[in-house]
Amino acid sequence: MQEPRIAVAVVTMGNRPAEVDALLESVAKQDVPPARIVIVGNGCELPGFAERLSLPGEVTVLETEENLGCPGGRNVALARLREYGDTDIVVELDDDGLLVDADVLRRVRDHFAADPRLGIVGFRIADENGETQRRHVPRPGNSDPMEGGYVTGFLGGGHAFRMAMLDEIGDWPGEFFFAHEETDLAWRAADAGWKILYAPELLLQHPKTSPARHAIYYRVNARNRVWLVRRRLPLPLIPVHLGIWIAVTLLRVRSLGGLRAWFGGFMEGVREPAGERRPMRWRTVWRLTRLGRPPVL
């Protein structure tokens, strides 16, 4: 039986050249090298990028005329991999991440080879001191970041997809631009019967950050949450989900400007088209609940 063929995709805005070089050097040191590496300049040019480093496999550099957001940029990489037609697994990595261990791609390959219904493998994200932020653990509450197993979501900074799963459920929701795109994809995967594995032994070192560092965070976060539930939840669960998150936001956000932006985005999500409505089945709701995270949290 042929082992899964792996590609690595990295999207960058061109403002972290040193970090991207370090990331790609860590990819080059893997004991199972990727067959392909696709680098997307998201609204930027990457002149001489491929020639700067000695990288394994076939290296493709793409440039988009405008910033398509993280999901849109990743869709560009996925489209090119489909044109090549020789990738089974794609590993997507944040451009300021780093693969500390040399066996990450081998472990990814082995996970997918062992289970044909495994669709997504999520990495553990930790800073240079080994700390994993609570928001990077794909379980509610104060869960141990070293506890692996099947979960309901994955981390956008470091993960791997089975291309056959994406061919079935579709790619990233590019219109989200930023925030909740992982949940949209994970819910579609779960509803189609694919498994999502959190594998903490797969470490992506990543600087400690806050999502609120982005100027558009509060508005887009709220807008996309409304779009997410309008697209993916059964009707009775939509007001439950949104009601819970309105309460959570009022408790968490101390800034009046942040709250104003959040509720502005919320109303934007209500008014504007959310895209295709394809709600998950009730058995998927139950499956996510049994895995520890009902789709109202």
203 bridge partner residues: 124
Residue 110 domain flag: yes
**Of 172, 187, 209, which one is at a domain's C-terminal end?**
209
Q: Averaged over 253-271, what is the pLDDT?
A: 94
138 plus 252 within the same structural domain: no
Close Cβ partners of 249 (under 8 Å, ≥ 6 residues apart)? 222, 259, 262
92 plus 154 within the same structural domain: yes
Please give the pLDDT value at position 143.
Answer: 79
Close Cβ partners of 109 (under 8 Å, ≥ 6 residues apart)? 3, 4, 6, 32, 89
Please give the pLDDT value at position 284.
Answer: 98
50 plus 123 within the same structural domain: yes
pLDDT digit string, tens, across residues 106-120: 999 999 999 999 999
CATH number at residue 157: 3.90.550.10
Question: 203-215 b/e with 16+ CB inside 10 Å = b?
Answer: bbbbeeeeeeeee
Residue 154 domain flag: yes
Q: What is the mean pLDDT of the chain?
A: 94
Q: Could you list the beta-strand ranges (E) of 75-212.
A: 89-94, 98-99, 118-126, 149-150, 158-162, 195-205
CA distance 71 to 75: 6
Q: What percent of the chain has pLDDT over 90?
A: 86
Residue 220 domain flag: yes
Q: Which domain holds residue 250?
A: 212-280
Asked which of 50-54, 81-85, 172-176, 276-280 is least confident by mean pLDDT, the reply is 50-54
As for how many domains the chain has, the answer is: 2
Give the dihedral sign, CA 275/277/283/289.
Answer: positive
Residue 171 domain flag: yes
251 plus 201 within the same structural domain: no
pLDDT digit string, tens, across residues 191-218: 999 999 999 999 999 998 766 555 588 9
pLDDT digit string, tens, across residues 24-71: 999 999 999 999 999 999 999 998 766 777 888 899 999 999 999 999
**Of 159, 188, 209, which one is at a domain's C-terminal end?**
209
Tell me: pLDDT of 233 over 70: yes
